[in-house]
Structure 1
Amino acid sequence: MSSTATSTAATPVHTPWEELVTSALLGTDRRPLRAGPRGAGAADGPAALLDAAALHTVRRRAALLPASGAPAPEPAPADPRPPLPAAARRRLAQLLADRSAPAAAGRRGTAPDLTELIPQWLASAGARGFRAPADLLPALLDAARARTDLRPAVLEFAGPRGLWLAGLNPEWRFALRTSPGHARRPAVEDPEAVRRLWEEGLFAERVALLAAVRAEDPAAARELLATTWSTERAEDRLMFLDSLRTGLRGDDESFLEVALADRSRNVRATAAELLSALPESALARRMADRATSCVNPDRTGAAVSVAVEAPHECDAAMQRDGVVPVPPSGRGERSWWLSQLVEAGPLAVWGERFGGRSAQEIVALPVADGWGPELHAAWCRAAVRQRDPDWARALLGAPSTPPANGPGTASLAERSKLLAILPPAERALWVADFVAAHGLSEAFQLLGVCTVPWAGPLGRSVVDALDIARDAGSYPWSFSGVMGLAERCLDPAEAGRLEVLTTTPDEPEGASPGAGGYWSEAFQRLVSTLRLRAAMDAELTPDAPDGTDVGGPGAV
């Protein structure tokens, strides 16, 4: 008999499968098998274990019934957008791979932070109308799952195939809830399908549906909301009401007046805010009457000033119009009521009240009895709510004026909101002059509202301020936020002008030890990031070369 037959005959075929697994895990030296029937024969080695496992495997497989196959998914929809140039596709793969790499500890070094460039790359690719590469869709959806700030751009770029793929993986279901292109959303032109989804859909689907209808037909969206308004939960009513900010107009007033009597305080407050943003609404006129009864020109002196007499009570009518009666801790009742009245009143009424004076002239008038800061702060909020650029300019004042002495408010957060009302070019010039006058320590929030890439004067002003800080000999860490903004927002054309700042400067007397080296490293990173952004932009041009990445072999 051959050796093979002998080995098979000696196989412990009666050994249970569980004992085979235990012997395999522990080893046949520690847990030997017995050949033949249990308890008979001598201990056998690994060969017997493998033979027994093979026989058991055949026996187990023979007893299985074939499973019925799952139905194949529908084919992915077509995406008619043009494909990415080859260099841009490689760049995207690099950015997504870097996203999954562990963050480096300690100093950042001179290499660009690729993770922070993903939003900019997506914005550029989306603006050019490219479709996402099919093989990178999983990595794109993983990135959007990890970073909510990426989701709108990723889902727009991923297109219909991204949504199709998201439907096959539970971890990507967020795309079906948040994407404006969710397949369940019917066409706005199909009122029956819209009504059905509105009545039967999930909350997230209904929010997306209402926003889509509002963008295309504001009146239809309002009428859709009215059909179920009385049966909605308070938190849902608040979310739905907020969607009316898009396309807010005069014929929304009647619906908002109904919401003004809502049983939810938050809903009432939102309705009042929206009505006050409609200067011709009845609520705006009521607020104007109340505000002008409290704030008036005082002509008793040699020059006109502003006299203020704050309300002595917050009656039921005021509360119905959205005035909150109980002030925050540490705030006086009368000043709290006054600020709400002025904030909700139409700004145009003040020109009439003060003899046709402009916003700048009114803001410059002295305010009696120390009411100036309170009144100006309320005017700032009114200007933001009503998107009034004339009042925004007046309340911002000259950028060279220190914030504490400005005409409006010293709050940089409020100033940022006022700046956002101005046209982009004017906004950039104002911030550039502010940085030139006051440096960067108070400019971070203001820089955040400027359009990207920064206009030339603003970029030069920021770079000059960084250069001044470097020459002062302090460490760059207190400017890390501004430096990060510069990496993302400076015009890439500035890279050549910044090259001179990458050298290590001589340390002045009293400088922080090693500060020059840190500044050199920071500027090298800034320059390399700007050059990478320029390369990324060039790669996204339709005629970018396919053979090599734009930017040369040294590009990151």
Structure 2
Amino acid sequence: MMRTSAPVAAPGPGAWEELVTTALLGTDRRALPAGVPGGRAPSALLDAAAVDTVRRRAGLRAAPARERPEPAPEDPRPALPEAAARRLAMLLADRPGAGGGGRRGTAPDLIELLPQWLAMANAHGYAAPPETLPALLDAARARTDLRPAALAFAGPRALWLARLNPDWRFALRAAPGGSAALPGPEDTDRIRQLWEEGLFAERVALLAAIRSRRPAAARELLAATWATERAEDRLMFLDSLRTGLGPDDEPFLEQALTDRSRNVRATAAELLSALPGSALAARMAERAAACVAVDPLRGTPTLVVEAPHACDPGMERDGVVPKAPAGRGERSWWLGQLLEAAPLGTWSARLGGRTPQEIVALPVADDWQGELHAAWCRAAVRQKDAQWARALLGTPAAPEAGGPGALSLAERAKLLGTLGAAERAEWVAGFIAAHGLSEAFQLLGVCAVPWAAPLGRAVVDALNIARDAGSYPWSFSGVMGLAERCLDPAEANRLDGLLAVPDEPEDASPGAGGYWAEAFQRLVTTLRLRSAMAEELRGG
């Protein structure tokens, strides 16, 4: 007959540490916490350790069963084609860093193709396969840039899952009320309840969604509770008015100019300055016009600048920050803010009817050109003025002494964002042809994907020139990675001639030829994979 040990009482807090200490010292030197004596102590110690081990592994105390969750909602969208579903599983299975660092070889970087695959799948209106939802949510949790596209593709079932797993709670914050659909325009009671009782993230998402469909309704919703909101919340809510900004928003924004929060006042002033017909824009135009003029006494027409000597209360109310950053002169700081907020249409009338191109080409006295052009650049971006953006960008082949060389790469990238996709790509292609790829990475990032044919050819030609010149290959890895994601897949056949290992010049980096061959092979392989992905999503 098998002998069984006596039942062991449930250990209290810290019991496991006591058991470990007793085992290390021995039961003859240290008694069990329960005080079991003599020869039974060793087996009692093991019994107690076994019980506590099971309890620790279980992790939860026994409790009444919860109610069974409601079934997941249906997703009415069409199912993915079978080949596309297999491809998605491959993309989700790839993890960053799996290659262990070093040279990437010729294999495509699958995780970097996932955003593009999701964009194409959403354009087709497909539903995510249910079995991929956990991996999709994990990917979106790890990469915030994936979240909008991943959650749109995952659909209502992802939100159902997110309620069951705290790790996926971000998905609930991304959807107003944690539901798949926003309350309809007629459901004013539900909208009002969510606005008054929802979490901050839910309220931000709700306001943004309503603003995108009905700007006036969103503004009225915000105005109803504006006086009771915290300053940091008012700032976030006010920022949502950028979408659909129009003249009807001016009275509300003028009221916000008197807000007790400086950041709220500054944001309201920025939004008003983006409305060229606003009263604030007119006030700023008058102030800015008093600071810049054409000197009639010089033989060559020259712009002269007289920066403000003080920041008066009216300027401060209209969003001018009086205290300059460290290392910046106060007068130039105030001037820049006035010029940035003044409507760009001010300057043609003020400066003799000249066009933006003629104004930008004028010499500027006393080293004010950099300050003046940088402020006009910010104004062109804020006001989305393509004519001024073209004038400030100049021709892409202009030397560093003038034209685009007067502005930083970051400023040029922002100016390019005001142009149409085709014009943007043409300008960057010209810049690359004139200046090479060393400074083009930031400019390429603002171009529409896939790159237009002239831009794609300019990038490939510049890479080929760098390879033939024996340039240090790793310095072009960023551009090569962009090309893998952004070149038109139709360009793959043009690259076949670049796959051979080139002869290395004497002054080339050792092994550079092999690296270039690998990089072009990876580029061709990735382009063909992207082409196959698009065909799979079309059901081909």
Bigger mean CA deviation after superposition, 161-170 or 181-190:
181-190
User: Which residues of 2 match residues 463-482 of structure 1 at below 5 A?
Assistant: 463-482=460-479
2:345 aligned partner:
348
Specify whether residues 349 and 408 from structure 1 end up closer, same or farther in structure 2 by C-alpha distance, changes over 3 A only: farther
User: Which residues of 2 match residues 39-54 of structure 1 at below 5 A?
Assistant: none
Bigger mean CA deviation after superposition, 161-170 or 294-303:
294-303
| Superposed displacement of residue 218, structure 1 | 0.8
Q: Are the aligned partners of 2:293 and 2:305 in contact in 1 as well (CA < 8 Å)?
A: yes
1:163-197 Cα offsets, whole Å, 9 max, x none, are 11111111111000013683184223211211111
1:1-35 Cα offsets, whole Å, 9 max, x none, are xxxxxxx3x4335475999x99xxx9xxx99xxxx
Specify whether residues 226 and 505 from structure 1 end up closer, same or farther in structure 2 by C-alpha distance, changes over 3 A only: same
> Separation in 1 of the partners of 2:176 and 2:441?
32
User: Which residues of 2 match residues 218-237 of structure 1 at below 5 A?
Assistant: 218-237=215-234
User: Which residues of 2 match residues 10-159 of structure 1 at below 5 A?
Assistant: 10-12=2-4, 14=6, 16=8, 68-99=64-95, 102-159=98-155
Amino acid at match of 2:91: L
Specify whether residues 533 and 12 from structure 1 end up closer, same or farther in structure 2 by C-alpha distance, changes over 3 A only: same
Amino acid at match of 2:109: D
2:303 aligned partner:
306
Matched, 1:459 2:456: yes
2:31 aligned partner:
none
| Identity in percent | 70
Q: Are the aligned partners of 1:186 and 1:194 in contact in 2 as well (CA < 8 Å)?
A: yes
Matched, 1:169 2:165: yes
Please state whether the residue corresponding to 1:539 is helix, strand or coil: helix
> Separation in 2 of the partners of 1:14 and 1:417?
78
Q: Are the aligned partners of 1:152 and 1:179 in contact in 2 as well (CA < 8 Å)?
A: no
Amino acid at match of 1:276: S
Equivalent position to 2:521, from 520, 524, 527: 524
Q: Are the aligned partners of 2:246 and 2:275 in contact in 1 as well (CA < 8 Å)?
A: yes
Q: Are the aligned partners of 2:399 and 2:405 in contact in 1 as well (CA < 8 Å)?
A: no
| Superposed displacement of residue 68, structure 1 | 4.5
Matched, 1:336 2:333: yes
| Superposed displacement of residue 333, structure 1 | 1.4
2:33 aligned partner:
none
Amino acid at match of 1:174: F
| Structure 2 gap ranges (5+) | 29-36, 55-61
Q: Are the aligned partners of 2:175 and 2:202 in contact in 1 as well (CA < 8 Å)?
A: no
Specify whether residues 179 and 367 from structure 1 end up closer, same or farther in structure 2 by C-alpha distance, changes over 3 A only: same
Amino acid at match of 1:73: P
> Separation in 2 of the partners of 1:161 and 1:15?
47
1:190-225 Cα offsets, whole Å, 9 max, x none, are 112111111111100110111111111111111111
User: Which residues of 2 match residues 281-300 of structure 1 at below 5 A?
Assistant: 281-300=278-297
> Separation in 2 of the partners of 1:428 and 1:408?
19
1:261 aligned partner:
258
Please state whether the residue corresponding to 1:511 is helix, strand or coil: coil
> Separation in 2 of the partners of 1:472 and 1:408?
25
| Superposed displacement of residue 383, structure 1 | 0.2
Specify whether residues 100 and 16 from structure 1 end up closer, same or farther in structure 2 by C-alpha distance, changes over 3 A only: farther
User: Which residues of 2 match residues 197-216 of structure 1 at below 5 A?
Assistant: 197-216=194-213
1:415-473 Cα offsets, whole Å, 9 max, x none, are 00000100000000000000000000000100000000000110010011111111111
Q: Are the aligned partners of 1:396 and 1:418 in contact in 2 as well (CA < 8 Å)?
A: yes
| Superposed displacement of residue 540, structure 1 | 0.4
1:34 aligned partner:
none
> Separation in 1 of the partners of 2:115 and 2:189?
38
1:499 aligned partner:
496
Please state whether the residue corresponding to 1:306 is helix, strand or coil: strand
1:61 aligned partner:
none
1:5 aligned partner:
none
Please state whether the residue corresponding to 1:297 is helix, strand or coil: strand
| Superposed displacement of residue 403, structure 1 | 4.1
Q: Are the aligned partners of 1:373 and 1:408 in contact in 2 as well (CA < 8 Å)?
A: no
> Separation in 1 of the partners of 2:182 and 2:404?
49
| Superposed displacement of residue 100, structure 1 | 7.0
| Structure 1 gap ranges (5+) | 1-7, 32-37, 58-65, 545-556
Q: Provide runs of 4+ in structure 1 moved above 6 Å.
A: 38-41
Equivalent position to 1:327, from 306, 324, 327: 324
2:380 aligned partner:
383
Please state whether the residue corresponding to 1:296 is helix, strand or coil: strand
Number of equivalenced pairs: 507
| Superposed displacement of residue 337, structure 1 | 1.1
Q: Are the aligned partners of 1:376 and 1:407 in contact in 2 as well (CA < 8 Å)?
A: no
Which structure has the larger Rg? 1
Amino acid at match of 1:284: A
> Separation in 1 of the partners of 2:229 and 2:7?
66
Report the aligned-residue RMSD.
2.7
Equivalent position to 2:433, from 433, 436, 447: 436
> Separation in 1 of the partners of 2:388 and 2:371?
16
Q: Are the aligned partners of 1:185 and 1:197 in contact in 2 as well (CA < 8 Å)?
A: no
Specify whether residues 416 and 489 from structure 1 end up closer, same or farther in structure 2 by C-alpha distance, changes over 3 A only: same
Bigger mean CA deviation after superposition, 304-313 or 400-409:
400-409
Please state whether the residue corresponding to 1:323 is helix, strand or coil: coil
> Separation in 2 of the partners of 1:271 and 1:503?
58
